[in-house]
Amino acid sequence: DTGVSQDPRHKITKRGQNVTFRCDPISEHNRLYWYRQTLGQGPEFLTYFQNEAQLEKSRLLSDRFSAERPKGSFSTLEIQRTEQGDSAMYLCASSPTLGREETQYFGPGTRLLVL
């Protein structure tokens, strides 16, 4: 079974460092989403891609955050100059483009701790 995978699963970094996370969606899923979840809260939408096009970005995605999906397959989320407030679980999800709305399949997440 090739579900959504994310790498790394855990990341500890010092404040001010840059980090990059990778998401591999389910094969042939056109849509890919990034969410962030802090402790005790529901996930929050960050951005999403239709193939390689980034169609929407949340205002939560400050200029320190950038996401790419260069070939319409895997995606990367980079955080520059990390801050302690960036500590969270970063979740990726993908869905097919069969209809107007489809189930989203979630990866296991990358847990980031900024010291």
Residues forming the site for other proteins (CB under 8 A):
31, 33, 35, 37, 40-48, 50, 55-56, 58, 89, 91, 93, 95, 97, 100-106, 108-109, 111
Find how far residue 13's CA is from the centre of its chain.
Answer: 18
Q: Which is nearer to other proteins, 14 or 59 (CB)?
A: 59
Q: Tokens 């980090």 label which residue?
A: 19
The minimum distance between CB 80 and other proteins, in angstroms, equals 22
- Min dist CB 82 to other proteins, Å, is 20
Rounded-to-integer distance, Cα 72 and Cα 58, Å = 20
Least distance (Å) from other proteins to the CB of residue 9?
9
Gap between the Cα atoms of 87 and 85, Å rounded: 5
